[in-house]
Amino acid sequence: MAVWCEAAGGVRGVVLDISGVLYDSGGGGGVPISGSTDAVKRIKESGLKLRFCTNETQATREKFVAKLQTMGFDIAVGEVIAPAPAACRILKERGLRPHLLVHDGLLPEFDQIDQSNPNCVIIGDAAENFSYENMNRAFQLLMQLEKPLLFSLGRGRYYKETDGLKIDVGVYMKALEYACDIQAEVVGKPANAFFLSALTSMGLEPHQAIMIGDDLVNDVGGAQQCGMKGVQVRTGKYRPSDEQHPTVKADGYVDNLAQAVDILLEHLHK
């Protein structure tokens, strides 16, 4: 039995990653992972608090949630913590005007943001928009700024689509960091502030919550840095080598979300 079960009795809230945990993305919108729609339902019925913490930046939260609802998930926009709204708050607080290198589907999230005469660059999972031309435009703009400022909506290496692994925004963040000799600010997992906003919205302390994700470093490691427990599912981008990672060790490994929920509910309130 996994070590994390011993802590399950004190858990009051669950934070779930979405892509690779609830469903695998890909052509036609993707497919739910077996048992996951029911697992979400069982968490809600148990009285545990629940938030979804995603680095998804190919669509607005509204469109993303609508897609998941169509797949049968009981999920609402207000339950989802995503990088783009967090970035908009930062831009407003700091009076910044971004140049956006993001997926077309994400653009409406920035409708209310002044993008004239940009003084920073924001990159998301732009996928096909990561052309040489667009990368050069972001690079040239950064090089023209006195203090180049790059925000990256996540720092993932890759994710799994139904037709295979795809490189993620973190890869292009590293590219621009090297090109401009700068360090990006990450908005999204594994940034502490991102997990904390999920905890705040549930009214819980870190030790009362558990994160379940398929990304060992950004989901599990990020949550642990924040004081939460972190469990990795063997779905999505999981690779067996994750269990021998040199620096990040999950509090538990489960075959999928359904198994995580089985164990969690079995030990709840014990």
Binding site residues, a second copy, CB under 8 A: 126-133, 135-136, 139-140, 143, 157-158, 164-167, 170-172, 174-179, 181
Beta carbon of residue 140, minimum distance to a second copy (angstroms, whole number) = 6
Beta carbon of residue 230, minimum distance to a second copy (angstroms, whole number) = 20
Surface-to-core class of residue 23, CB atoms within 10 Å of its CB (0-12 exposed, 13-18 middle, 19+ buried): buried
The CA distance from 205 to 259, in Å, is 25
Identify the bridge partners of residue 232 per DSSP, sorted by sequence position: 213, 253
Beta carbon of residue 245, minimum distance to a second copy (angstroms, whole number) = 10
* Residue number, 61 or 237, with CB nearest to a second copy: 237
Alpha helix ranges (H) inside 16-129: 36-46, 61-70, 83-94
Beta carbon of residue 239, minimum distance to a second copy (angstroms, whole number) = 9
Q: Do 254 and 235 contact (CB within 8 A), yes or no?
A: no
* Residue number, 13 or 124, with CB nearest to a second copy: 124
The CA distance from 167 to 27, in Å, is 16
The CA distance from 208 to 14, in Å, is 9
Beta carbon of residue 111, minimum distance to a second copy (angstroms, whole number) = 25
Report helix, strand or coil for 167.
Answer: strand
Beta carbon of residue 118, minimum distance to a second copy (angstroms, whole number) = 17
* Residue number, 111 or 181, with CB nearest to a second copy: 181
Q: Do 153 and 123 contact (CB within 8 A), yes or no?
A: yes
* Residue number, 42 or 245, with CB nearest to a second copy: 245
Closest by Cα among 202, 240, 238 to 219: 238
The CA distance from 80 to 51, in Å, is 6
* Residue number, 73 or 159, with CB nearest to a second copy: 159
* Residue number, 88 or 142, with CB nearest to a second copy: 142
For helices 257-267 and 36-46, the axis angle rounded to 10 degrees is: 20
Identify the bridge partners of residue 51 per DSSP, sorted by sequence position: 15
- Which DSSP category does 76 fall into? -
The CA distance from 134 to 155, in Å, is 19
Beta carbon of residue 177, minimum distance to a second copy (angstroms, whole number) = 8
* Residue number, 158 or 263, with CB nearest to a second copy: 158
